[in-house]
């Protein structure tokens, strides 16, 4: 049994104290199984919202999903009067935490809304009203509640562009938004009382934060120096037992692995192919050979049919360049290629080098389609895709070697200055 | 027609373009690391640094200025999907 009550004697939801001045006023959603389309949860989730009370003001930090507004308002009413609320903070604008905002603004019209600098243009799109008054804040901005204060940390892209965290120094408490959260519904609420949620924590990171590792590392620079007693995220357990462990875990998960084994001047280039009659494979081997001629490029060649997608995604995340070989089958690249490509949204590919090649019979669309997809994934694709009709000739094999060589040189920044006319670009 | 040259410093490629060409159109084709997201000047993905020829680009619109500010862009930064070449020499690289 927990040491706190979630309801009063009449069965009405009430707030839960994290300290004398900080209360949880969130809601439980035990029936949820799929979140944001991309996440599964086996026991639902919680939408955590909080109240911070100072002797000169009361702040609400985040709200809940719209359907759960009643539960949120009931808990809030058990601890504060609407007229006392001076501040509303939104750590990001996603509807699972802003759903009750319009109603809250009606009930506490005097409260001042604080959002991150980057949230300004999104607020309009979300509330569909003009003339919303708000104060945009950045790292270092503070708001006083008298003997308690809010200190903002600008932590963009974790996982929305407008994400921020809010720190209350007098409580040594970080309101981290979705950062350090997970979809796990457990009414015991605190990490030293709930069931084992580590798998949810890891899973949430892998699907929500992983694409933004670079930004996680930047945010950790701001978070790590803070004296911390408690982390209060917007989903899942409240981290009051050794919160620093979760920060350390985020650092581990966000730090590159393989790079530590490469010398600083080396770069990695991965070649993946799939092939029904061996034609694309012959091309792949020649491209591999060509790329191997360039010093300091660590090239690897893999047949997509020989592995699972997920370890390949890990490899690609840490690589500097990615070359894909695909035949054209029924007017398209075959499904294993698209399976790999559709799994890459969990990693950041921006500015990696990309290249595509493949054998075809009569139409050969596969290569172009994959090139477009790589560009869509924000890779740079400087050298047009290489296509060979059916079985590569000796000359075509040499072209493949040159293609590999050129891509490897491009990767190492060894290509000479080129002057091109726009009209000649494909 | 008036011409401009845009040099992508990250890949060492210079392209001669007709005046009015948006930087992103060229960047995408030559494979510079200036990559795009929304293409409408909203998301800030295509942020680039203009190292030479700032005045050879169209001026930022009110919208672009706002997005640049929201993204805390530094001096000499522009959005590649908004900036159009006017003429002369322009040098850019990813921000
Ligand atoms: C079931 C099937 C469908 C195909 N559809 C196309 C197609 O739509 N367009 C095309 O250019 N080639 C098509 N091809 C031809 C292959 O692209 C060609 O045989 C190529 O050389 C195969 O390369 P691989 O040996 O690396 O798999 C098709 C081949 C098969 C077996
Ligand atoms: Fe979110
Ligand atoms: Fe969330």
SS3 A61: strand
Rounded to whole angstroms, the Cα distance separating A114 from A133 reads 9
Mean pLDDT of A153-166: 96
Report, at the CATH architecture level, how domain B3-94 is classified.
Roll (3.10)
Asked if the Cβ–Cβ distance from A425 to B26 is below 8 Å, we say yes
Q: Look at ligand 1, atom 25, and give the residue with the nearest C-alpha.
A: A277
Global ipTM: 0.84
pLDDT in tens, B10-24: 888 999 999 999 999
Question: pLDDT-derived band of residue A48, with 50, 70 and 90 as boundaries?
Answer: very high
- The residue whose CB lies within 8 Å of the most ligand 1 atoms, and thus the one to mutate among A304, A331, A356, A361, is A361
Question: pLDDT-derived band of residue A424, with 50, 70 and 90 as boundaries?
Answer: confident
Q: Is the dihedral of CA A98, A100, A102, A108 positive or negative?
A: negative
End-to-end CA distance of chain A: 68
Tell me, what's the pLDDT at B41? 87
- The residue whose CB lies within 8 Å of the most ligand 1 atoms, and thus the one to mutate among A282, A330, A337, A363, is A330
Tell me, what's the pLDDT at A124? 84
Residue A335 has pLDDT above 60, yes or no: yes
pLDDT in tens, A76-122: 999 999 999 999 999 999 999 999 999 999 999 999 999 999 898 88
Tell me, what's the pLDDT at A2? 63
DSSP symbol at A294 = S
Rounded to whole angstroms, the Cα distance separating A221 from A223 reads 6
Mean pLDDT of chain A: 95
Tell me, what's the pLDDT at A283? 98
Mean pLDDT of A376-395: 95
Nearest to B29 among A120, A417, A425 (CB): A425
pLDDT in tens, B26-42: 998 898 999 888 888 88
Our answer on whether the CB atom of A359 is closer than 6 Å to any ligand 1 atom is yes
Q: Helix crossing, A279-292 with A394-411: angle to 10°?
A: 50
Residue A260 has pLDDT above 80, yes or no: no
Answer yes or no: are the C-beta atoms of A267 and A409 closer than 8 Å. no
Tell me, what's the pLDDT at A426? 65
Tokens 């104290």 sit on residue: A17
CB half-sphere exposure, A301, CA atoms < 13 A: 16
pLDDT in tens, A234-256: 999 999 999 999 999 999 999 97
Domain boundaries, chain B: 3-94
pLDDT in tens, A266-324: 999 999 999 999 999 999 999 999 999 999 999 999 999 999 999 999 999 999 999 99
Of all residues in chain A, the percent with pLDDT exceeding 70 is 98
Tell me, what's the pLDDT at A415? 82
Tokens 């600083």 sit on residue: A264
pLDDT in tens, B51-68: 999 999 999 999 899 889
Tell me, what's the pLDDT at A322? 98
Tell me, what's the pLDDT at A340? 98
Asked if the Cβ–Cβ distance from B33 to A351 is below 8 Å, we say yes
Tell me, what's the pLDDT at A326? 98
Rounded to whole angstroms, the Cα distance separating A405 from A333 reads 24
Q: Who has greater pLDDT, A261 or A155?
A: A155
Tell me, what's the pLDDT at A258? 65
Q: How far is B36 from chain A (nearest CA, A)?
A: 7
Mean pLDDT of B65-85: 91
Residue B94 has pLDDT above 70, yes or no: yes
Residue A395 has pLDDT above 80, yes or no: yes
Tokens 């985020």 sit on residue: A250
In order of their start, the domains of chain A are 16-254 (3.60.15.10), 259-413 (3.40.50.360)
Mean pLDDT of A416-424: 87
pTM score: 0.88
* Alpha helices, H only, A115-172: 120-127
Answer yes or no: are the C-beta atoms of A113 and A135 closer than 8 Å. yes
Tell me, what's the pLDDT at B69? 87
């Amino acid at each position: 049994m927990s040491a706190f009550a979630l309801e009063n004697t009449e069965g009405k939801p009430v707030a839960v104290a994290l300290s004398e001045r900080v209360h949880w006023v969130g809601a439980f959603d035990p029936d949820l199984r799929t979140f944001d389309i991309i996440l599964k949860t086996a026991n639902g989730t919680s939408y955590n919202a909080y109240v911070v009370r100072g002797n000169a003001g009361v702040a609400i930090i985040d709200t809940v999903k719209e359907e759960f507004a009643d539960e949120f308002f009931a808990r809030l009413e058990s601890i504060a009067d609407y007229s006392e609320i001076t501040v509303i903070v939104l750590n990001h604008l996603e509807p699972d935490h802003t759903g009750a905002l319009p109603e809250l603004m009606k009930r506490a019209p005097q409260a001042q809304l604080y959002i991150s600098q980057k949230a300004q243009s999104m607020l309009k799109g979300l509330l569909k009203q003009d003339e919303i008054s708000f104060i945009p804040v950045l790292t270092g901005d503070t708001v006083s509640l008298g003997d308690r204060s809010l200190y903002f940390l600008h932590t963009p892209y974790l996982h929305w562009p407008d994400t921020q965290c809010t720190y209350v120094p007098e409580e040594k408490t970080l309101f981290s938004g979705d950062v350090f959260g997970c979809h796990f519904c457990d009414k015991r609420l605190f990490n030293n009382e709930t069931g084992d949620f580590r798998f949810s924590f890891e899973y949430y990171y892998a699907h929500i934060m992983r694409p933004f590792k670079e930004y996680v590392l930047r945010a950790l620079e701001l978070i790590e120096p803070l004296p911390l007693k408690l982390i209060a995220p917007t989903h899942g357990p409240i981290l009051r037992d050794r919160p620093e462990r979760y920060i350390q875990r985020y650092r581990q998960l966000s730090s590159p692995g393989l790079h530590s084994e490469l010398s600083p001047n080396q770069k990695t280039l991965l070649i993946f192919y799939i092939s029904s009659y061996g034609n694309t494979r012959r091309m792949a081997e020649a491209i591999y050979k060509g790329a191997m001629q360039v010093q300091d490029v660590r090239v690897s060649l893999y047949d997509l049919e020989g592995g699972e997608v997920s370890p390949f995604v890990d490899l690609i995340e840490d690589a500097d360049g990615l070359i894909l070989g695909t035949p054209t089958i029924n007017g398209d690249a075959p499904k294993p290629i698209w399976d790999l490509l559709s799994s890459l949204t969990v990693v950041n590919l921006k500015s990696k080098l990309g290249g595509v090649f493949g054998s075809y019979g009569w139409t050969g669309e596969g290569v172009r389609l994959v090139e477009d997809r790589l560009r869509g994934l924000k890779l740079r694709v400087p050298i047009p895709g290489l296509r060979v009709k059916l079985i590569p000739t000796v000359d075509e094999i040499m072209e493949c070697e040159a293609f590999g060589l050129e891509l490897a040189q491009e990767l190492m920044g060894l290509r000479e200055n080129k002057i091109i006319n726009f009209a000649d670009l494909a | 027609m008036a011409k401009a040259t845009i040099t992508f410093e990250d890949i060492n490629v210079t392209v001669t373009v007709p005046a009015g060409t948006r930087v992103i159109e060229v960047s995408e084709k030559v494979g510079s690391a200036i990559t795009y997201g929304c293409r409408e000047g909203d998301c800030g993905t295509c942020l680039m640094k203009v190292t030479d020829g700032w005045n050879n680009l169209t001026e930022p619109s009110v919208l672009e200025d706002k997005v640049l500010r929201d993204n805390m862009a530094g001096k000499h930064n522009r959005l590649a999907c908004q900036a159009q070449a006017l003429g002369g020499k322009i040098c850019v690289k990813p921000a």
